[in-house]
Chains A and B, each alone.
Chain A
Amino acid sequence: MFQNRAEALALALPAAIFAAAVFLVPVVILLSDGFRVPTGGWTISAYTDFFSNSLNQTVFLRTLRLGALVTIASAVIGYAAAFAIVSLEPGAKGKVTGLVVLPLMISPVARTYAWIVILGRTGIVNQAFQALGITEAPLRILFSETAIFIGLLQLFLPLMIISLISALENMPKDAIPAARVLGANWFQVFWKVVLPLTKEGLVVGGTLVFTGSLTAYITPAILGGSKVLMLETLLYQQVAVSNNFVAASVIAFILIVMSFAANILLKRVATARNKQRSQA
């Protein structure tokens, strides 16, 4: 450890000042816009206006719903996938993990664009459904909540799987066999042994997936179109189409509050169960 304070500050301050000037200050001013009265003073009327509009309510609830559904689905699939991967031979494990991580390196635009080919009117799913006689006319899957759900799940599932793989690997090796010997069925093994021992990984993955889904722009923009909006695409429309900067500021604030709340809430859930266990 070096003790020279002036030197330390000289090294650290350029980065801190840069981040503050081009990031922190503009963002804080932007967020305050929604609370300011043009003639001076403060108000929350922009927020009551925002939530009294039924379109905005729909978009807000849809964003929450999609975030929750994508998180739950990725947790369920993530546990299955992480279990399968952890039980592989070391060599195969590395390769399969690589395949899971690979999509993270590919541009989200390319990954989302692929779903147009799959889910579109003449896409693979509709071709298959019609060939099998499940439907007569092509289904409208694109530009719907279902399409956004599928796109977000594909985008963020790798983050959940990776978090759960390391959580499962850190679990004591004999925990599951011990529980089995003592007569627990597989459901009890998961609920009473695996879940408590891996919940930190689940919380990390869940936070990444949930906040990622809330704040994704590309997926709802491409797969939801201009009708099925989420908060991010609504924000974009408010600025680009309506020039409504106050509404944009309100949405920005809501997004940030939701992300932070999710972070804090999920951390609390993890530690609350911990305490229960240590008291018992």
Chain B
Amino acid sequence: MTLRSLFIPITLLLVIAFLIGPFLIIVAASFSAGETLAFPPQGFSLRWIAKVFTVESFRASFGMSLFLAIGGTAAALVLGIPASYALSRYKLPGAEIVRTVVSAPIIVPGIIVGLALLRYIVVPFQVGITLALFLAHTALVLPYAVRVVSASLDNLRSDIEEAAVLLGSSRLGAFFRVVMPNIRGGIMSAFILGFVTSFNQVPVSLFLSGPGVRTLPVDMIAYMEIVFDPSVAALSSLLAFLSIGIVFIAERFLGFSRYV
């Protein structure tokens, strides 16, 4: 073996160990029978996996995160699909401004968005924390929704809906019967990307928490500051497998990576 032919496997091994190794350690640690977080795990048990489901705050915050990820992404799509359609098919006056405004939330650090919302929406307008979180997560996902849906609209020839209109369909009918079926993969991909982004988001939700109202990742950070047991490791592994599963299925059935 020459030095060069060794370079490739060794580099790959080191890089992948660095990127994936910590995750495997977390998975192993979550099967520990011991009282504290440790590696190598002390014995084998499912007690910490089971404990995750009994922690009251985890159940509440998981429900909240799920609601935000599904609801926020759906709302972002309801706003984003028409906007993408206008940007891709119409001569829209001020198209560049619209594009910049809807994709701006991606550029500004989340913690600033969360604080701005707290100070200038929640406090002055007496908006509830849950609604504020919903608005924040919708705004956060909107750029992804517009980007992914626009990409799949741009890949679809526009003359098929013009043909449908010419053949007597209304504009709206042409959209739902001709365009929608063709960009379904893109919309599903936007949904999954938005879901994962929203579910894992921390900084935006940091300031937007009230008594009993918190997103799951923020709750996990709060928990690990007080308790040093393997339950956060167990929860992290469960969540990781959940999102890997979702992405894997999406890739399998939609060819997810084409859109992202």
Give me the interface of A with B, judged by CB distance under 8 Å: 1-5, 7-9, 11-16, 18-20, 22-27, 29-30, 77, 80-81, 83-85, 87-88, 96, 99-100, 102-103, 105-111, 113-118, 122-124, 154, 157-158, 161, 215, 217-218, 221-222, 232, 235-236, 239-240, 245, 248, 252, 255-256, 259
- Determine if B23 and A256 form an interchain contact, defined as CB atoms under 8 angstroms apart: no
Which B residue's beta carbon lies closest to that of A122? B38
The complex places the Cα of A4 from the Cα of B200 at a distance, in Å, of: 40
- Determine if B38 and A77 form an interchain contact, defined as CB atoms under 8 angstroms apart: no
Interface centre among A29, A102, A109 (most CB of B within 10 A): A109
Chain A residues positioned under 8 Å from B244 (CB to CB): 102, 105-106
The complex places the Cα of A30 from the Cα of B107 at a distance, in Å, of: 16
Chain A residues positioned under 8 Å from B12 (CB to CB): 81, 84-85, 96
| Of A113, A240, A255, the contact of B224 (CB 8 Å cutoff) | A113
Against A, the Cβ 8 Å flags (1 = close, 0 = not) of B100-122 are 01101101111111011101110
The total number of A-B Cβ pairs within 8 Å is 245
Given A22-B139, A85-B12, A124-B39, also A109-B202 (CB < 8 A): yes
- Determine if A5 and B91 form an interchain contact, defined as CB atoms under 8 angstroms apart: yes
- Determine if A1 and B116 form an interchain contact, defined as CB atoms under 8 angstroms apart: no
- Would you give 11 A-B contacts (Cβ < 8 Å), ordered by A? A11-B85, A15-B102, A26-B117, A84-B9, A100-B19, A110-B237, A217-B111, A218-B203, A255-B109, A256-B112, A259-B109
Which B residue's beta carbon lies closest to that of A157? B19
Give me the interface of B with A, judged by CB distance under 8 Å: 7-9, 11-12, 15-16, 18-20, 22-23, 25-26, 29, 37-39, 79-80, 82-83, 85-87, 89-93, 95, 97-98, 101-102, 104-105, 107-113, 115-117, 119-121, 135-136, 138-139, 142, 146, 158, 171, 196, 199-200, 202-203, 206-207, 217, 220-221, 224, 232-233, 236-237, 239-240, 243-244, 247
Chain B residues positioned under 8 Å from A5 (CB to CB): 90-93
| Of B93, B108, B236, the contact of A107 (CB 8 Å cutoff) | B236
Would you give the shortest CB distance from B93 to chain A, in whole angstroms? 6
| Of B87, B120, B206, the contact of A236 (CB 8 Å cutoff) | B206
Which A residue's beta carbon lies closest to that of B175? A11
Given A8-B91, A100-B19, also A80-B79 (CB < 8 A): no
The complex places the Cα of A161 from the Cα of B16 at a distance, in Å, of: 11
| Of B19, B102, B233, the contact of A158 (CB 8 Å cutoff) | B19
Given A15-B79, A106-B244, also A114-B86 (CB < 8 A): no
The complex places the Cα of A201 from the Cα of B108 at a distance, in Å, of: 22
- Determine if B86 and A12 form an interchain contact, defined as CB atoms under 8 angstroms apart: yes
Which B residue's beta carbon lies closest to that of A18? B79
Chain A residues positioned under 8 Å from B135 (CB to CB): 22
Would you give the shortest CB distance from B131 to chain A, in whole angstroms? 10
| Of B82, B108, B115, B121, the contact of A22 (CB 8 Å cutoff) | B121
Chain A residues positioned under 8 Å from B18 (CB to CB): 154, 157
- Determine if B23 and A8 form an interchain contact, defined as CB atoms under 8 angstroms apart: no
The complex places the Cα of A84 from the Cα of B254 at a distance, in Å, of: 29
The complex places the Cα of A27 from the Cα of B105 at a distance, in Å, of: 10
- Determine if A217 and B110 form an interchain contact, defined as CB atoms under 8 angstroms apart: yes
The complex places the Cα of A275 from the Cα of B115 at a distance, in Å, of: 42
